Amino acid sequence: MPRILIFLERGRFEEMLKIRPDCIPCTLSSALRMARRASSDPEQHKQVVQIMTQRLAHISWNESPFELAFTIQEAVFKVTGIRDPYSEVKKESNRDALELYPKMKKLISNSKNPLETAAKLAAAGNSIDFGVYSEVDLDSVIVKAERLEFAIKDFDEFEKRVKGAEKLLYFLDNAGEIVFDKLLIETMLEFRGSRFREITLVPKEEPLLNDATIADVQEVGLNKLPSVVIKPIGSGRKRAPYPRSREVSDWIKEHDLVIFKGQGNLELFLDEPDTFFILVAKCPIIAEVLGIPRESLVLRYSPPSKT
């Protein structure tokens, strides 16, 4: 029962989601993948790796791995002059996922439990991650959702909260994946039979790997859901707040249904009580922390704090 374990050991888990030694080679591989997207010049690939290695040589083990994504983005921009190397990939992901939208819509409505199917698809959609993979096959994402069960499945609580909540706060992860999130929110609305008073979507302020930005949210029409508000997060160095800021903490408190998509959000918010996490456990450390096999689907509820 990983869920009980997680509940009992919350303090330990918070500790575990800081940067680990394994994050260093993984970050360098991720930087190299991005450098190759931004430029075909092997000299520039070397430069990106060199800059990243120099920065990582002085990293603090107390930061979140999330910080490393900004470092990659900066290094690739500095060397190649490209601000958004995944720009094309993101557009393609959105387009490809939108093409599958009717098929997935049908899959959901024809299933025994549409809300569960939509949640599973949303979790499987978290595989659309060019920070981790070089290529993603969307059809296999759907097959994954059809074949696999959730390894952590706090569905009863989820169903209850979807039914009763007034204000939904939804932290998005990757472009393409957000079409799956759109389907989930639409299915939530059908399941409730009523609108939310407010749906707050949280994309990234600026390009960060292949994470969804406001442009992506608009591209897939997520902004057309009823009562939508869009509040981006970012590095905290521009306009949008850093995820672990007082401001974002206040957003979370003001909403009665909070969903975090993906690994980055899990790393940042695992200690956040009374919230949901939907993801694929792609990183071996996250899989270990959650006590599940890699590539498992997760719908996890963090219970309210005991105080």
Question: Does the footprint of a copy of itself cover residue 304 (CB under 8 A)?
Answer: no
Residue 227, SS3 per DSSP? coil
- Which run of H or of E encompasses 257? strand 257-261
Quote the least distance from Cβ 53 to a copy of itself, whole Å.
Answer: 4
- Shortest CA distance to 159 belongs to which of 136, 181, 199, 187? 187
Does 72 help bind a copy of itself (rule: CB under 8 A)?
Answer: no
Per CB under 8 A, 56 contacts a copy of itself: yes
* Beta pairing, strands 228-230 & 257-261: unpaired
Task: Please select the residue that binds a copy of itself; options are 5, 8, 54, 164, rule is CB under 8 A.
Answer: 54
In angstroms, the CA 122 to CA 169 distance is 15
* Residue corresponding to tokens 């909070």: 258
Q: Which of 132, 276, 266 is nearest to 209 (CA)?
A: 132
* Shortest distance, position 61 Cβ to a copy of itself, whole Å: 6
Applying CB under 8 A, the span of 51-59, 130-138, 162-170, 197-205 interacting with a copy of itself comes to 51-59
Q: Which residues contact 119 (CB under 8 A, 6 or more apart)?
A: 155, 158, 184, 278, 299
Please state, in angstroms and rounded to a whole number, the distance separating the CA atoms of residues 239 and 219. Answer: 22
Task: Supply the minimum distance, in Å, between the C-beta of residue 175 and a copy of itself.
Answer: 25
The verdict on 92 binding a copy of itself (CB under 8 A) reads no
Query: Of 11, 40, 61, 134, which lies in the binding site for a copy of itself, with binding defined by CB under 8 A?
Result: 61
Considering only 6, 37, 45, 200, the residue that binds a copy of itself (CB under 8 A) is 45
Binding a copy of itself (rule: CB under 8 A), the pick from 1, 4, 40, 57 is 57
Measure the CA–CA gap between 127 and 134, rounded to whole angstroms.
Answer: 11
Options 47-55, 71-79, 112-120, 139-147: segment touching a copy of itself (CB under 8 A): 47-55
Among 50, 109, 113, 140, binds a copy of itself (CB under 8 A): 50
Residue nearer to a copy of itself on the CB measure, 25 or 293: 25
Burial (CB < 10 A; 0-12, 13-18, 19+), residue 69, is buried
277 forms beta bridges with 260, 300
Going residue by residue from 4 to 43, which x/- string records binding to a copy of itself, judged by CB under 8 A? -----------------xx-xxx-xx--x--x------x-
**φ, ψ dihedrals at 73, nearest 5°:** -55, -45
- In angstroms, give the least distance from the CB of 222 to a copy of itself: 35
List contacts with a copy of itself (CB under 8 A): 21-22, 24-26, 28-29, 32, 35, 42, 45-46, 48-50, 53-54, 56-57, 59, 61
